[in-house]
């Protein structure tokens, strides 16, 4: 079951996620099987060494996870997440692609691959969502 009829309705709903919005994350695409979110890297996202902070990468992946898991079943909350940082981004934009690995009765498992706009793999995020019964 799809919860958002259009990507615009999902954007309107997730605009309330103020941390992601003020960080600069956008929801670019949404289907019943995939969510794609992105973030243009600015100096505000960098650490003291000039690299992109891990928390920025995590926030982007977590947002993509939230969008897709709530597209599958609303309301879903994160029960367990894991992130592996693979490489430092070299581009000017980060892209997170969330796909559903398992859609069960009470939980879902979402894989989120984060890359930069040069195609470099940056992180792999796996989240387990718990489906709340309303």
- Taking only the tens place, the pLDDT of each residue in 16-73 is 999 999 999 999 999 999 999 999 999 999 999 999 999 999 999 999 999 999 999 9
pTM exceeds 0.75: yes
Residues 6+ apart with CB under 8 A from 123: 57, 58, 61, 83, 84, 85, 86, 113, 114
Q: What is the pLDDT of residue 1?
A: 56
Half-sphere exposure of 5 (CA within 13 A, CB side): 0
Q: Domains in the chain, please, with CATH? A: 7-131 (3.10.129.10)
pLDDT at 100: 98
133 pLDDT tier (thresholds 50, 70, 90) = confident
Share of the chain residues as helix, strand and coil, in percent rounded to the nearest 5: 25, 40, 30
């Amino acid at each position: 079951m799809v919860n958002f009829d259009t990507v615009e309705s999902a954007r309107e709903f997730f605009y309330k996620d103020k941390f992601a919005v003020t960080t600069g994350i956008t929801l670019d695409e949404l289907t019943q099987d995939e969510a794609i979110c992105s973030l243009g890297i600015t100096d505000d996202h960098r650490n003291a060494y000039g690299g992109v902070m891990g928390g920025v990468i995590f926030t982007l992946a977590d947002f993509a996870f939230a969008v897709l898991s709530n597209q599958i079943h609303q309301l879903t909350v994160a029960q367990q997440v894991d992130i592996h940082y693979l490489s430092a981004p070299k581009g000017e934009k980060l892209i997170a692609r969330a796909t559903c690995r398992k859609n069960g009765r009470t939980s879902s498992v979402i894989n989120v691959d984060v890359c930069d706009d040069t195609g470099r793999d940056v992180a792999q995020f796996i989240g387990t969502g718990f489906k709340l019964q309303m």
